[in-house]
Amino acid sequence: MKFELLDPKRHDRDGFDCGVDALNSYLRRFANQDIKRGLTRVYILCDEARIAGYFSLSAHSVSRQDLPPKIQAGPYEELPFLILGRLAVDREYQGRGLGDALIVHAFAITRSAAAQIGILGIIVDAKDERAAGFYQRFGFQRLSGTALRLVLPIAAMDRLLG
């Protein structure tokens, strides 16, 4: 298996089923439109045309007041981050650690982007408490005033990935 950018002409989006209709629908119906509009990049873990898992990354900003005090950098009201918009693993591949592989790949891309442009880390909107727990295993912290929005600064990614 390997990581690639989604190519709707080559990758089988219709065969993907993670068990969550909203995540399946996004990949099948909306991901290509968002890519064409320049709103996101969708990365897949695939075996040829078969998609085992995917995630999306987009530019984002977060209000300084919502961040934990250790992350509040500078005098700016809005601070730059990437947002991990979606992350899903096909049912056939669940339980094999692919969710971990997907998020570590998202971290590598985020760190690479941070070396090129100014961003402080990555934000994620967990779909439920179970998903929030998954992200918290990697050191994500909840943002104040939100139930399921979490943040991970670049420095924490650096410690995780070495």
Query: Model confidence over 101-134: pLDDT tens digits?
Result: 999 999 999 999 999 998 889 999 888 888 899 8
Identify the pLDDT of residue 67.
73
Rounded distance between C-alpha atoms, residue 46 and residue 7, angstroms: 11
Identify the pLDDT of residue 71.
66
Closest to 96 (Cα-Cα) out of 138, 45, 133, 28 = 45
Which of these ranges, 38-42, 133-137, 144-148, has the smallest mean pLDDT?
A: 144-148
Rounded distance between C-alpha atoms, residue 149 and residue 61, angstroms: 13
Question: Which of the pair, 145 or 101, is modelled with greater confidence?
Answer: 101
Tell me phi and psi for residue 158, to 5 degrees. -60, -40
C-beta neighbour count of 28 within 10 angstroms: 15
Identify the pLDDT of residue 127.
86
Task: Count Cβ atoms within 10 A of the Cβ of residue 112 and give its class: 0-12 exposed, 13-18 middle, 19 or more buried.
Answer: exposed
Identify the pLDDT of residue 76.
72
| CATH superfamily membership of 2-161 | Gcn5-related N-acetyltransferase (GNAT) (3.40.630.30)
Q: Where are the domains of the chain?
A: 2-161
Q: What is the pLDDT of residues 6-39, one digit of tens each?
A: 998 899 999 999 999 999 999 999 999 999 999 9
Token pair for residue 42? 């969708």
Confidence of residue 54 (pLDDT cuts 50, 70, 90): very high
Given the residues 26, 43, 93, 135, select the one marked as catalytic.
Answer: 135
Are 43 and 51 in contact by the 8 Å Cβ rule? The answer is: no
Position 5 pLDDT exceeds 70: yes
Q: How far apart are the first and last CA of the chain?
A: 24
Q: What is the pLDDT of residues 60-96, one digit of tens each?
A: 887 777 777 666 566 777 788 899 989 999 999 999 9
Rg (CA), the chain: 16
Describe the strand order of the beta sheet including 41-47 as a list of residue ranges: 2-5, 41-47, 50-63, 78-89, 121-125, 149-153, 141-142
Identify the pLDDT of residue 98.
94
Q: Give yes or no: 26 in active site.
A: no
Identify the pLDDT of residue 90.
96
